[in-house]
Amino acid sequence: MSTSTPVKEKIIRDEENKLKVIIVGAGLGGLGAAIAISLAGHSVTVLESAHEIGEVGAGIQVLPPTSLILHDWGLLPYLSSHSTSPSQVNMISWKGKLISSMDFKESAAQYPGSVYWDFHRANLHRGLYERALELGAKVKVGMRVVDVEILEKGARVVVEKGRREEREEEEEGDLTADLVVGADGIFSKLREVMLEREDEPHLTGDLAYRLLLSTKDMLADEELADFVKNPQVNYWMGPDMHAGKHTLLFHIGCC
């Protein structure tokens, strides 16, 4: 991906013009919000219920308009080294007949400087996390938010007691903000606070089975090797189900 568009620079504000923002949830949405709000010159704290920022998920796709936003946020150097750029997408019947295809480069040409990217979700998440920290955002783990109290000026976030083994007394003052952003996923507590009712996710009956195959093993297989040598996105469609294939660049960490 090459673009002449400059990366957005962080706005520098004096304290009286700076908002104190708390973001609940350190997923892709929460960290993306942390980057955007930090670039706007405001003070950001992200509260995450998990006890660590882990590597979870499987493949994830970034479409051309979104790649431009990621470039604006200064993520191009990191993400370029953790992505693949498939040449096209193919829609295939369950019997193997090609139904249609689309050239990704032609599609991306509508958005100059953009690209279609495939990542492992963990790589995209890590890039967002590190960029948010670089811009000055604070990320606190083990902080499960159970309520938000609206104050005369701003709001106070209420955290579940006992979630952290060593909670400092003065930390309570850090849990007030001018703005609270809810990004706490499908089991969102903040959504329930806004709706003033429970809002549990509903089962749809859909199931997704995901697996990762190593590049080495695929290259050693005559039928799979071309998937690595010529990265494309394939979807095989059948009655009431479908299968998809993406080529990912994923560095597995060892300890």
Query: pLDDT tens, 53-83?
Result: 877 777 788 888 899 999 999 998 888 888 8
Residue 7: which residues within 8 A CB-CB, separation 6 or more? 71, 72, 73, 74, 76
Q: Give CA–CA dist 153/151, Å, rounded.
A: 5
pLDDT at 248 exceeding the cut of 90: no
Q: What is the pLDDT of residue 133?
A: 98
Structural domain 15-195, CATH architecture? 3-Layer(bba) Sandwich (3.50)
Tell me the one-letter amino acid at 172: E
Structure tokens, 42: 């405001």
> What pLDDT was estimated at residue 77?
86
In angstroms, rounded to a whole number, what is the distance separating the alpha carbons of residues 38 and 30?
A: 12
In contact, 44 and 88? CB cutoff 8 Å: no
Lookup: tokens for 254: 């060892």
Q: How far apart are CA 218 and CA 216, in angstroms?
A: 6
The answer to whether residue 251 scores a pLDDT higher than 60 is: no
Identify the sign of the CA torsion 253, 63, 187, 192.
positive
Whose tokens are 């783990």? That residue is: 141
Q: Worst-scoring range by mean pLDDT, 47-51, 57-61, 239-243? A: 57-61
Mean pLDDT of 99-110: 88
Q: Could you state, in order of their start, the residue ranges of all structural domains in the chain?
A: 15-195
> What percentage of residues in the chain have a pLDDT greater than 70?
89
Which position has the higher pLDDT, 255 or 240? 240
CB atoms within 10 A of CB 165: 7
